[in-house]
Amino acid sequence: MIDILRHKSYIGAYNRVSRNPYWVAEHLTKDTLDGNIKRKHLKFRENSEIPTKFRSHLNDYVKSGFDRGHLVPAADVATSKSDLAETFLLSNCSPQNVNFNRGYWAAFEKKIRSLTKSYSDVYILTGPLFIPHQEEDGYYVKYKVIGDPPNTAVPTHFFKGTFIF
């Protein structure tokens, strides 16, 4: 079953098996990036729209070595406190390597936001991937699962498609 999650600033589809989004989609304009709401007091939280046994849990990330990586970044919706808070739902997050999340991925997201200086509408589709790798006898999809008991799958890769008009 796929859960379609509709929020004011983005939409997404949730994968109950991996406890990750299949994808999230957002629309950026100069106006949507014009806010200065701070994320200081916001906390990550589980999405109560998803049944407990199928959701990613806060405890999954404790001592896992992975960040709760936003797929729709908080910086993309800083015009409204309620919109900003929706980005802190775990249904908008995937486990990400700390250096990747705070380094390359953050720089990539910043570059995409800068596209609104040249284009009036920027549409973004983001999600996790579980890419097979080759072993001696064939291809396998292998990924780490975090939590105790194991619950949330760690993607092997991520995608971010940008459409500009």
Catalytic residue among 57, 70, 133, 157: 70
CATH code for position 134: 3.40.570.10
pLDDT in tens, 141-160: 999 999 999 999 999 999 99
pTM for the full model?
A: 0.94
**Domain limits for position 71:** 2-39+47-164
Question: For this structure, is 70 an active site residue?
Answer: yes
Binning the chain into helix, strand and coil, the percentages to the nearest 5 are: 25, 35, 40
Q: Is 90 exceeded by the pLDDT of residue 40?
A: no
pLDDT in tens, 87-109: 999 999 999 999 999 999 999 99
Q: Is 90 exceeded by the pLDDT of residue 70?
A: yes
**Domain count along the chain:** 1
- Of the pLDDT bands very low, low, confident and very high (cuts 50, 70, 90), residue 128 is very high
**Separation between Cα atoms, residue 86 and residue 42, nearest integer Å:** 10
What are the tokens at 58? 């806060």
